[in-house]
Amino acid sequence: MTGQVPDNLIYNKSSYSIVGLKGEGLPSPFDYGLEPISPHTANWRGFIMTYMIAENHLLVQEMTVTVKDLKKKPPLINGVNPETKKEGLLHLTYKSLKFKTQFTGKILIAKDFIDSMYVHMGFQSPLSFKTVIELKISDGALIKVTDFSEIMKDYRKLNISDGKIGPTENLQEWIGRTFSLDYDF
């Protein structure tokens, strides 16, 4: 198995991986009638999203979707036509979407990955990053920012795991955790 390519979020002009998610209201390709298919083992979902925080709002910046083929013209999303690339499968990339989400919940973002903590399964653990920040969002508006970097550092020193770092007795349960973005501290 392979570690999964994460969605990204641009915050304060830096790019972060989304490593945790609790809430609802994030758009997906399914909202536009697209049916993603996995292009490779590092992207089982078949799509990658890029978000950004601008003027204290969570916006969709870019959406890349892989589909088998389309019987009709790809949909416009926020007035944007996708760039298309055919390599057996059809890859659609919607750039500069810049539309506000209605998301309410929390998003855990991280950067500065610690290579020695890479796990060949699912999404990487928040513990595997030096910089970890939680964004609390209500109806698309950023309302609170909490830096968890020191807490993650302390957890690493104490060898505290979130259950994603290595297989446990119940392999199926562990695989489920690695593919989940749910988190709890």
Instruction: Please tell me whether residue 137 adopts helix, strand or coil conformation.
Output: strand
The string of pLDDT tens digits covering residues 34-43 is 999 999 999 9
User: Domain ranges in the chain?
Assistant: 8-100
User: Taking the model in full, what pTM does it have?
Assistant: 0.91
The string of pLDDT tens digits covering residues 163-184 is 566 666 677 887 787 788 888 7
Q: Please give the pLDDT value at position 7.
A: 97
Which H helix or E strand runs over 94? Answer: strand 89-94
Between 117 and 10, whose confidence is greater? 10
Q: Please give the pLDDT value at position 162.
A: 63
